[in-house]
Structure 1
Amino acid sequence: MGFTNFDGTIFSLAPIFIGIIFVIVIGSIIFSLVKGIGEWSTNNSSPRLTVPAQVITKRTNTWGGRNDTAASTDYYVTFQVESGDRMELKVADREYGMLAEGDFGILTFQGTRYGGFERKV
């Protein structure tokens, strides 16, 4: 399907829409890369802290798994430090399974990067 231009030539909108979609997709990829590199850089420049903390809550985020694709799950734990501040950190599946809500211990982290949790009885 085309439209008639002022000089009588026919043009199509399809190349314009394809170009717009291309720019949006490439822009999204570049934005994600810049955001990831920024977070990585911020974490690396943050001090590595070890503080007393309590496990407040745990949650998962499952995504994918449609048709013939595999589902993936991200694991998050919310910790509360002595000052009352809370932070949610992404943890590995093995760490997630070993932590229970209400656990007290020593949390190690660097920015938003989880370093470990040593439970105190």
Structure 2
Amino acid sequence: MGGKIIESLLPIVAVIILAVSSVSAIRWLMEWSKNNKQPVKTANAKLMSKREDTRRTGRSSGTRKSSLSLGRSQQKTSYFLTFEFEDGERSEFNVNGREYGAHAEGDAGELTYQGTRFHSFERITTV
């Protein structure tokens, strides 16, 4: 009896997973397309803050004492830089780990971006 319930739920779960994945892919594609239509801009900006978002995927054993995993477990870290422009407006950009590590809060320089897409940040050094 329990097997029949699982058999009837499997297609529903599969459809839900497919729907969530499709919505995510469509959102990503729409943002990518919108960014491509935007002009590439360069503006003076100051790096106001840095943040990391670390997420673990996969299954663990469920016990706090054990670090054994039942399946593949991965950790993904996303890096973000928030810049403030001369007019006071702020924008946050998702960047790679190399860009994240290359800059410090308080750095001032020229930010090049396209919509929500980060291109580069060239720090202005004063002597």
Alignment RMSD, CA only? 1.8
Task: Quote the Cα distance in structure 2 between the aligned partners of 1:17 and 1:89.
Answer: 40
**Is 2:14 aligned against 1:22?**
yes
Higher mean Cα deviation, 80-89 or 65-74? 65-74
Aligned mate of 1:107, from 105, 108, 111: 111
Between the aligned residues of both structures, percent identity stands at: 39
State the partner residue of 1:88: 92
Question: What code does the residue aligned with 1:20 have?
Answer: I
Task: Quote the Cα distance in structure 1 between the aligned partners of 2:22 and 2:87.
Answer: 38
Question: Which structure 2 residue ranges, 5 or more long, are not aligned?
Answer: 61-68
For residue 13 of structure 1, report the CA deviation from its aligned partner: 4.3
For residue 64 of structure 1, report the CA deviation from its aligned partner: 2.0
Task: Quote the Cα distance in structure 2 between the aligned partners of 1:70 and 1:23.
Answer: 24
Higher mean Cα deviation, 38-47 or 63-72? 63-72
Aligned mate of 1:78, from 69, 77, 82: 82
Question: Which structure 1 residue ranges, 5 or more long, are not aligned?
Answer: 3-11
- TM-score normalised by the chain length of structure 1: 0.83
Task: Quote the Cα distance in structure 1 between the aligned partners of 2:34 and 2:92.
Answer: 16
**Is 2:46 aligned against 1:51?**
no
- TM-score normalised by the chain length of structure 2: 0.80
Larger strand percent = 1
For residue 73 of structure 1, report the CA deviation from its aligned partner: 1.2
Q: Larger RCO: Structure 1 or Structure 2 (Cα < 8 Å, ≥ 6 residues apart)?
A: 2
Q: Could you report, residue by residue, the CA deviation over 1:29-85 in whole angstroms, capped at 9, with x for unpaired residues?
A: 111111111111011011111000000000001122653533221110000011111
Q: Which has the larger radius of gyration?
A: 1
Q: Could you report, residue by residue, the CA deviation over 1:63-116 in whole angstroms, capped at 9, with x for unpaired residues?
A: 226535332211100000111111110111111111111111000001111000
Task: Quote the Cα distance in structure 1 between the aligned partners of 2:75 and 2:28.
Answer: 22
